[in-house]
C-alpha cells in the first residue's frame, strides 16, 4: 500500500510537470549494440549492459537470451509497470500482478524457407491480478494501463523505421 501511495504521488507530480512543460516529455534515447563473437551481442545504454545471443543449433554461443526473449520481456514489463502506475493513480490496491506474453511466429521467415512475415503472427497477453478492490475498478486501471502503454503501442502500431548505413572498406 505504501509503495502504491508513493507511486501515485510521483505519478501526479510528473503529470503536473508535463502539463506545465510538455517538452519535458519529448526525448531521444540511444542504444548501441555490437557483435562480440559470432552471434553474441552486447547492447549498451547509459549504465546498462545487456547480452543477447542465439541457440547453438543456429550458430549462437548461448551466452544470453535471444532478442525475442528481451522483446517479450519488454512488452510484459512495460504492461505490468503501467498497470501498477495506473492502479496506484486510481487508488486501486493490487496485491499481486503478472503478465504472461504468448507469441506465435514462423522461424522459416528468418531462414528464408517461408512466406510468413519474420515477426510475430500473433501476440496474446494474459493479465493476472489479485486485488481487494472492486473488479470494475481493477479493470478500469488495466484499461488505462493498456491505453497509455508505450510498448503495447510499439507492438500494435506500425513504426517509422529509418535505416542509416555506414560502410568502411578495409
pLDDT tens readout for residues 75-134: 999 999 999 999 999 999 999 999 999 999 999 999 999 999 999 999 999 999 999 999
Cα radius of gyration rounded to whole Å, the chain: 20
Is 134:90 a contact under the CB 8 Å cutoff? no
To which residue does cell 520481456 refer? 73
Distance CA 43, CA 35 (A): 9
pTM, full prediction? 0.92
Q: What residues form DSSP beta bridges with 127?
A: 99
Render pLDDT for 34-78 as a digit per residue (tens, 0 to 9): 999 999 999 999 999 999 999 999 999 999 999 999 999 999 999
Domain 2-18+72-156 has CATH 2.40.50.140: no
Distance CA 50, CA 64 (A): 8
Amino acid at each position: 500500500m505504501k509503495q502504491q501511495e508513493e507511486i501515485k504521488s510521483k505519478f501526479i507530480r510528473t503529470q503536473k510537470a508535463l502539463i506545465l512543460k510538455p517538452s519535458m516529455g519529448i526525448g531521444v534515447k540511444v542504444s548501441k549494440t555490437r557483435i562480440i563473437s559470432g552471434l553474441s551481442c552486447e547492447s549498451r545504454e547509459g549504465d546498462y549492459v545487456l547480452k543477447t545471443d542465439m541457440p547453438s543449433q543456429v550458430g549462437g554461443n548461448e551466452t544470453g537470451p535471444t532478442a525475442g526473449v528481451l522483446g517479450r520481456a519488454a512488452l510484459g514489463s512495460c504492461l505490468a509497470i503501467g498497470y501498477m502506475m495506473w492502479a496506484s493513480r486510481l487508488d486501486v490496491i493490487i496485491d499481486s500482478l503478472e503478465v504472461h506474453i504468448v507469441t506465435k511466429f514462423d522461424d522459416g521467415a528468418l531462414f528464408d524457407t517461408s512466406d510468413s512475415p519474420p515477426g510475430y503472427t500473433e501476440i496474446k497477453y494474459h493479465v493476472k491480478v489479485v486485488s481487494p478492490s472492486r473488479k470494475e475498478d481493477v479493470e478500469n486501471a488495466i484499461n488505462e494501463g493498456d491505453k497509455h502503454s508505450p510498448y503495447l503501442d510499439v507492438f500494435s502500431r506500425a513504426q517509422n523505421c529509418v535505416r542509416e548505413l555506414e560502410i568502411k572498406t578495409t
